[in-house]
Amino acid sequence: MLLDSRTITWMGMGAAMLFSMLGILVARGRHTCPGFYSWTAGNLCVSISLLFLGLRGFIPDSISILFGNPLSIVASCLILDGIRRFRGKTRLPWPALAAAVLALAIFCYYRFAVDDLNARVAVMSMFLGVFGLIAAREFFAAVRPGSRLSLSFTATMLALF
């Protein structure tokens, strides 16, 4: 039996959407930690991005590409913003936002000016990988004795992402 990438995408979208909805319910019901709203919004963006990725072939490629990939960039920025808020820092610094805009501009160039799928994959992989490592580094810096296991686990998952 072959592993179907569309099924994996739909399952990831379902899991991310479930966590997004649970996050919204938790945020409405009680006081949460700093950065929780950014994480919830980031999870929501990830789930919608995976929805567009899973719908490729059913909807026009230009729609799935133009909405799915920018949402994954926004999700990375929101998750990093949530981690910085959790640590008590200010919002994202301007170089991070500039990197997001630059990645999106390069991505659009390789979609509309020069239609090169490999270059688009490389740009998105590089951006998401670098932002994942930066997020993991920020989280590792937040590890304290009372919450060592949970913060270390989250930071490790971000690094593996």
Rounded percentage of the chain residues whose pLDDT exceeds 70: 99
Q: What is the mean pLDDT of the chain?
A: 85
Distance CA 42, CA 40 (A): 5
Tell me how far the alpha carbon of residue 139 is from its chain's centroid: 15
| Count of helix runs (H) and strand runs (E) in the chain | 6, 0
pLDDT tens digit sequence for 59-102: 888 888 889 899 999 999 998 898 888 888 887 888 889 999 99
Q: Which residue has the tokens 């994954």?
A: 72
Tens of pLDDT, residues 38-52: 888 888 998 899 888
- Contact indicator for 158, 130 with CB cutoff of 8 Å: no
Residue pair 92/81 in contact (Cβ under 8 Å)? The answer is: yes
